[in-house]
Each structure stands twice: as C-alpha cells, then as structure tokens.
C-alpha cells in the first residue's frame, strides 16, 4: 500500500499526517509506504515547520528529516490512495487526474471536514495533530481490512 498525504505547502499538515501514519504503520509491522506533498511550490526542499516538528516530537514521532515537495501528476499513478487535508487541495489534486481511476484514489483525510491550516495560528498545531492522529488510527484499521 502506498499512501500520499497532501496539503498546500507540505510543511505543516501533510508532514504531520505522513509522520503519524508511518508511525502507526511501523507499529503494526506493515510494509507500507507513506509520503507527503504540497499542491503549492512555496517550500520545496525545506524541512517541516518547526511547530509541526515540535508537536510530532512531543508525541514520539520524528518528522524533522522530511523535505517538502510539490505534488506531481506521476503521484496519481504511483500511489494507491491520496488524502487531501482540505477542499481546496482536494480540488487541486482532482484537477491533475487524467482518468476516473486516478480520481477515485483521491479522498479527503477526514470525510466532509477540512483539517485547518495551522500556519498562521500557532494555537492550532496541537488540535490539528490530534485530528490527524485520530483519523489516521481509523484509516489504518479501515485500510488493513482491505478498504480504501
């Protein structure tokens, strides 16, 4: 299973989602791959936001080695499932889909709910981490049962 987490700049939400999901997958001993990307090219090559690194580390998850990258069309072919953090990013990912098979891979991380971008509001980093963690626990259970 290859999972891609996507937000806008790939420095706050999607690195947290990648780190949380990889941590959970590793704990289960699964040989799955998780990556993250951004729909924007603002931070290519940079580490996650220091506040994301801090909240992850506080919860026993290391994400400081990640590097931001931009979502590419090839990602829609290479990943089994792609999770968007909000409606805007969902729309941007869908716009890259070349067929219904690729479009079917794209989902909201939390159905019918956006994960808020904490970049401009430091008070959101802990609640965003908690939202992502809670949903990744649910998704892992769901995906292990062969559902997407």
Tokens 């909000």 correspond to 86
Q: Does 69 qualify as catalytic in the annotation?
A: no
Q: Which of 35, 75, 86, 117 is catalytic?
A: 117
DSSP string of 67-99?
A: ---B--HHHHHH-SEEEESSHHHHHHHHHH--S
Q: Does 13 qualify as catalytic in the annotation?
A: yes
Contact partners, residue 90, CB within 8 Å, separation at least 6:
84, 106, 108
Q: Which of 12, 13, 49, 136 is catalytic?
A: 13
CB of 31 within 8 A of CB of 40?
no
For 124, the 3-state DSSP assignment is: helix
Q: Does 121 qualify as catalytic in the annotation?
A: no
CA dist 9 → 1, 26, 85, 89, 134 (Å): 24, 25, 11, 10, 22
Active-site positions read: 7, 13, 117
């Amino acid at each position: 299973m290859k999972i891609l987490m996507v937000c806008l700049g790939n420095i706050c939400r999607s690195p947290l989602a990648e780190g949380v999901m990889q941590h959970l997958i590793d704990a289960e001993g699964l040989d799955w791959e998780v990556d993250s990307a951004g729909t924007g090219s603002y931070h290519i090559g940079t580490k996650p936001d220091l506040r994301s690194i801090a909240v992850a580390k506080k919860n026993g998850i290391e994400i400081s080695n990640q590097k931001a990258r931009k979502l590419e069309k090839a990602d829609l072919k290479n990943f089994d499932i792609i999770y968007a953090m909000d409606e805007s990013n969902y729309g941007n990912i869908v716009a890259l889909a070349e067929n219904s098979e690729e479009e079917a891979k794209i989902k909201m991380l939390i159905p019918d709910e956006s994960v808020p971008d904490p970049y401009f509001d430091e008070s959101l980093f802990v609640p965003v981490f908690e939202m992502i963690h809670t949903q990744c626990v649910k998704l892992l259970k769901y995906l292990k049962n062969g559902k997407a």
